[in-house]
């Protein structure tokens, strides 16, 4: 992680967090397969990766160079010691992050009318079920 010490502290996750540990692993500049990260982090690396990719930690550029499984590599510009190169990598990562966010929003907007229709149908079905009186009050036996 020494190669990253030139960066401002706000780029770093909380010390001891899974995201911090993941960044420490990737800071060697070598590719790391998902299986290795699963073992090292004792959990799926997805959430720590998302924390590093997002705006909270300044858009780390972490490449997935795997073809069928994850193989993660920290962009070498972060390890360069050059703030300008680091900044270029972060800008690329931010553009990619914003593009993914836009695409997800667009997909959600397309699905919204169908989701509204499905909710209405489910509520109507529930109301119909409740309106049928399946439960007759149980009469107590009369004592003679």
Digit-coded pLDDT (tens) for 114-133: 989 999 989 888 888 877 75
pLDDT digit string, tens, across residues 73-119: 999 999 999 999 999 999 999 999 999 999 999 998 888 889 899 99
Domains and CATH numbers, the chain: 2-102 (1.10.10)
Residue 58 has a CB neighbour count (10 Å cut-off) of 18
d(Cα 77, Cα 74) in Å, to the nearest integer? Answer: 8
Listed residue (26, 35, 19) closest to 4, CA to CA: 26
Ramachandran region, residue 42 (left: φ > 0; alpha: ψ -120 to 50; beta: rest):
left
Q: What is the pLDDT of residue 127?
A: 85
Q: Which position has the higher pLDDT, 140 or 119?
A: 119
Q: What is the pLDDT of residue 45?
A: 95
Mean residue pLDDT of the chain comes to 91
Of the given ranges (18-27, 96-105, 109-118, 134-143), which has the lowest mean pLDDT?
134-143
- Cα-flanking dihedrals φ and ψ of residue 34, to 5°? -55, -40
Q: What is the pLDDT of residue 18?
A: 96
Instruction: Enter the pTM of the model.
Output: 0.75
| Alpha-carbon torsion (82, 88, 94, 96), positive or negative | negative
């Amino acid at each position: 992680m020494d190669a990253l010490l030139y960066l401002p502290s706000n780029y770093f996750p909380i010390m001891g967090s899974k995201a911090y540990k993941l960044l420490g692993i990737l800071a060697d500049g070598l590719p790391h397969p998902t299986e290795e990260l699963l073992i090292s982090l004792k959990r799926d690396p997805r959430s720590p990766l998302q924390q590093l990719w997002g705006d909270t930690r300044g858009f780390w550029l972490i490449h997935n160079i795997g073809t069928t499984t994850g193989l993660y590599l920290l962009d070498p510009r972060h390890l360069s010691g050059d703030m300008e190169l680091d900044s270029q990598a972060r800008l690329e990562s931010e553009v990619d992050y914003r593009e993914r966010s836009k695409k997800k929003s667009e997909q959600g907007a397309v699905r919204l009318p169908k989701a509204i229709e499905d909710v209405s149908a489910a509520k109507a079905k529930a109301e119909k079920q409740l309106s049928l009186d399946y439960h007759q009050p149980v009469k107590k036996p009369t004592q003679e």
